[in-house]
Amino acid sequence: MSIVNARELLIKATQERYAVGAFNITSLVQMEAVIEAHIDCKAPVIIQTSVAPAKFLGMNVLVAIYRTLAESAPIPVCLHLDHCTDVAYCKKGAEAGYTNIMVDASKQHFDENIRQTKEVVDYCHALGDISVEGELGTVGGVEDQVRVVENEAELCNPDQVLAFIERTGVDLLAPAIGTAHGIYATRNPKIDFERFKKIFDLVNGETIRTPLVVHGGTGLPRDYVERFIAYGGSKVNVSTELKHVLIDATYQYMNAHPKEYDPGKIDRAVKEVTRQTVFNWIEWFGCRGKA
Ligand SMILES: [Zn+2]
CA–CA–CA angle 239, 2, 20 (5° rounding): 35
Catalytically active residues are: 82
Distance of CA 114 to the CA centre of its chain: 21
Taking residue 26's Cβ as centre, other Cβ atoms within 10 Å add up to 18
Residue 274 alpha carbon to ligand 1 centre in Å: 20
Q: Give the per-residue pLDDT at 275.
A: 98
Residue 82 alpha carbon to ligand 1 centre in Å: 7
Task: Fill in the DSSP letter of residue 150.
Answer: G
Which residues, including other chains, have CB under 8 Å from residue 130's CB and lie 6 or more apart? 5, 94, 98, 99, 100, 101, 124
Q: Give the per-residue pLDDT at 188.
A: 77
CA–CA–CA angle 73, 74, 75 (5° rounding): 90
Residue 145 alpha carbon to ligand 1 centre in Å: 11
Question: What is the pTM assigned to this prediction?
Answer: 0.95
Element (H, E) at 93: helix 87-96
Residue 261 alpha carbon to ligand 1 centre in Å: 36
Residue 106 alpha carbon to ligand 1 centre in Å: 11
Q: Give the per-residue pLDDT at 138.
A: 79
* Segment 113-136, tens digit of pLDDT: 999 999 999 999 999 999 999 999
- One-letter amino acid at 279 equals F
Q: Give the per-residue pLDDT at 184.
A: 84
Residue 237 alpha carbon to ligand 1 centre in Å: 7
Low pLDDT (below 70) residues in the chain: 1, 141-153
Q: Give the per-residue pLDDT at 130.
A: 98
Whole-angstrom distance, CA of residue 93 vs CA of residue 20: 21
Q: Give the per-residue pLDDT at 224.
A: 96
Q: Give the per-residue pLDDT at 142.
A: 60
Q: Give the per-residue pLDDT at 149.
A: 45
CA distances from 105 to 44, 78, 118, 156 (A): 28, 22, 11, 13
How much is the mean pLDDT over the chain?
A: 94
Closest of 6, 67, 2, 72 to residue 236, by C-alpha: 6
Count of all residues that appear for the chain in the document = 291
Asked if residue 89 lies in contact with residue 49, where contact means CB atoms within 8 angstroms, the answer is no
Phi and psi (nearest 5°) for 208?
-80, 115
